[in-house]
Amino acid sequence: MSRGPDPEDARAFRPEALPALVDAVADLSWLRGRGYAEDAALKLVGDKHQLAARQRKAVQRAACSDEELRWRREHLRPLEGRIAVDGFNVLIGLERAISGGPLFRGRDGALRDIAGVHGTWRRSGVTGEAVERLAETLPHEAVVVLDRPVSNSGRLAAALRERSEQGALGWEIEVVDHADRRLVELELPVATGDAWILDRRPWVDLLGALTSAIEGAWIVELGAGRTT
């Protein structure tokens, strides 16, 4: 299963397109901070800047209100000690980066993929490399949480457990029905780009650390626009 760029990405996220995207992130963040409904706000901003569908999705993921931004900045933690890992969120983003697809850095500094899992995950040609990179970077004290409803979550859990045992890494792998809820319940800093979790727990930039070691990783910077 390919994790490479979408055919539209080269045009949608070319350097000339970035100023409009950065302004759109600032506009949507302003609207969010003033209680505008998400769908209506995104349509307003997307229409104003004449954004394509994938551009709108990237802007939506990158935006956050000033209040959310303050919380997330204050709760960013160093990558050390025992942490929790939003397994699919981190692994799919890492697979995307290895395959040359874009990741997006939002206002809060977190990296995100705009594809997501949507209930289905299959091993790709770079999954093995992604697991190896994870083993090189992830602290020994880690709880990796996977969504049981996502297809093949059990197979991925088995692969992660095997790698942990081979390297004496001491990872704990959990497969649960509601991964987001479980990650919050663990009361550990969480490696994730999921906004719902970021607004409830301290977090660590594991995906940023992983992608920094990938030469030529395509990082689209969307968070450096004007303040709201």
Q: Can you give the pLDDT at residue 7? A: 83
Average pLDDT over residues 114-124: 75
pTM of the entire predicted model: 0.92
The structure tokens listed for 114 are 């705009």
Q: Report the chain's terminal Cα–Cα distance, integer Å.
A: 40
Collect all residues with Cβ–Cβ distance below 8 Å to 97 and sequence separation of at least 6: 103, 210, 211, 214, 217, 218
Q: Can you give the pLDDT at residue 1? A: 53
The dihedral sign for the CA sequence 95, 167, 192, 69: negative
Average pLDDT over residues 54-73: 96
H-type helices in the chain, by residue range?
9-12, 18-33, 38-48, 53-62, 66-74, 87-98, 127-137, 153-166, 179-185, 195-198, 206-211
Average pLDDT, the chain: 93
Torsion of CA 195, 120, 136, 222, to 10 degrees: -40
Inform me whether the pLDDT recorded for 117 exceeds 70: no
pLDDT one-digit tens code per residue, 76-90: 999 999 999 999 999
Collect all residues with Cβ–Cβ distance below 8 Å to 151 and sequence separation of at least 6: 119, 120, 121, 122
Q: Can you give the pLDDT at residue 216? A: 92
Considering the chain, what percentage of its residues have pLDDT values greater than 70?
A: 94
Q: Can you give the pLDDT at residue 76? A: 97
Q: Can you give the pLDDT at residue 139? A: 79
Average pLDDT over residues 91-114: 94
pLDDT one-digit tens code per residue, 164-178: 999 889 899 999 999
Tally of residues, the chain: 228
Q: % helix / strand / coil in the chain, to the nearest 5?
A: 45, 15, 40
Strand partners, 84: 143, 190
Inform me whether the pLDDT recorded for 146 exceeds 90: yes
Q: Which helix (H) or strand (E) holds 104?
A: strand 102-105
Torsion of CA 199, 202, 208, 209, to 10 degrees: -170
Collect all residues with Cβ–Cβ distance below 8 Å to 64 and sequence separation of at least 6: 29, 32, 72, 106, 107, 108, 195
Helix (H, G, I), strand (E, B) or coil at 175: strand
pLDDT one-digit tens code per residue, 98-109: 999 999 999 999
pLDDT one-digit tens code per residue, 149-167: 998 999 999 999 999 999 8
Q: Can you give the pLDDT at residue 116? A: 60
Q: How far, in Å, CA of 25 to CA of 31, rounded? A: 10
Burial of 137: CB neighbours in 10 Å, binned 0-12, 13-18, 19+: middle
